[in-house]
Structure 1
Amino acid sequence: GLAIDNLAGLVLTVSLLATVFGYPADFALAHLVPGTALGVVVGDLLFTGLAFRLARRTGRTDVTAMPLGLDTPSTFGMVFFVVGPAYAAARGDGLEAIAAARHAWHIGMCSIVASGLFKLACASVAGPIHRLVPRAALLGSLTAIALALITFLPTLEILASPLVGVVSLGIVLASLTARIPVPAGVPGAFLAVVAGWATHAAGTALGWIPTVAPHAPLEPAAALWPVEWLGGGGGG
């Protein structure tokens, strides 16, 4: 589940950068994705080691490691407030697409390091704050972000193409929320995707749904084993 969630976060990051800001998708696959994936793997291994150490020290068998990965609010924040604007500003200053992408990539890495240093500096006071502030207050900001990013923005996407979105949403609500059994035991989420695809295909063929311009060409092989990021520190 954690791997799929992180994969979805990476796909979301590359998709938003490419579609909203025109960020080169091939560069993102070759530079942004590998380092992010490696960082997640290393972080999860470190947390796993800490969990084993705690289990040995306490003699407990119910210790679990804290999952590390890409959370949705941070993903949107990095895309819309750091990497994306940095790329757009670099392009506005006359840099070529690849040079601007590398420039934005470097700024993104610097922001991650700065964020880590800030969290490290705040770690000493996190415990007292957690004890003094009610949990509801601590989670309030996350709840607001969740409502804005995870609920409101996807709703706009659904209503942008209601013929497709409402059909899929209805199936999800009926199968996963109302617990209405799906014939033949088909997973509700899978049925929603298939129904949405079929509705879009039929609507496009009948002229009910306008055709969308194709995305920028992408070479899938570039994502299989990218190594450019290992020597991509120069320039920008």
Structure 2
Amino acid sequence: MEKQLSWWEPGDLNGFFGLGTNVLVNLMILTTLLKYVIGIPDGVLFGTILPAIGLMLFLGNIYYALMARRLAEREGRNDVTALPSGPSVPHMFFVVFLVMLPIKVSTKSWEAAWAAGLIWVFVEGIVLFLGAFIGPTIRKLAPRAALLGTLAG
């Protein structure tokens, strides 16, 4: 008899609030950096940027949850989890202080700094896309300990 897959397991509520709290704090940090370091006006920050991030978080996490569900169905497992999606604080500091701030200082324009940030994210997306094709090869060649090193901190 095949095991019935569920949409909710013990520990999921804990994970939900853990991810939610993490994302909330990360968004507060991002908002502070963009407002006070880069000088993005409130109308753009709260009217365009944060709603777009909210939509991305919703769609991205739904997509990952559906991918996890598909894997669970294919393998008949109830212990599959979705990869949480959301803004990363170290990445935020990198982009704000090493990409956007130098442009802001040299041009005195938050728009130019914002454009530099968008260009950075676009280039990063291309690198990630290309990495999807070489990732399986790297995974086969690299020792498991090397791949798990970033998780250890």
* Both proteins in one fold, TM over 0.5: yes
Q: 1:175-190 residue pairs with structure 2 within 5 A?
A: none
CA contact (8 A) 2:34 2:96 kept: yes
Structure whose CA Rg is larger: 1
Asked whether 1:103 is paired with 2:120, we answer no
CA contact (8 A) 1:23 1:84 kept: no
| Structure 1: gaps (5+ residues) | 92-99, 147-236
> SS at 1:30's partner residue?
helix
CA contact (8 A) 1:50 1:65 kept: yes
Q: Deviations over 1:16-37 (max 9, x none)?
A: 3444x35135143333322222
| Paired residue type of 2:81 | T
Distance 1:142 1:134, change over 3 A: same
Aligned-residue RMSD, C-alpha: 2.4
1:112 positional shift: 1.5
Asked whether 1:23 is paired with 2:32, we answer no
Report the TM-score, using the length of structure 1 for normalisation.
0.50
Report the TM-score, using the length of structure 2 for normalisation.
0.73
Q: Which residue of 2 aligns with 1:115?
A: 124
Identity %: 33
Please, which of 130, 139, 146 is the counterpart of residue 130 of structure 1?
Answer: 139
Counterparts of 2:122 and 2:128, CA distance in 1: 10
Counterparts of 1:53 and 1:139, CA distance in 2: 24
> SS at 2:104's partner residue?
helix
Q: How many residue pairs end up in the alignment? A: 135
Q: Which residue of 2 aligns with 1:72?
A: 89
CA contact (8 A) 2:95 2:117 kept: yes
| Paired residue type of 1:124 | F
Please, which of 38, 62, 73 is the counterpart of residue 56 of structure 1?
Answer: 73
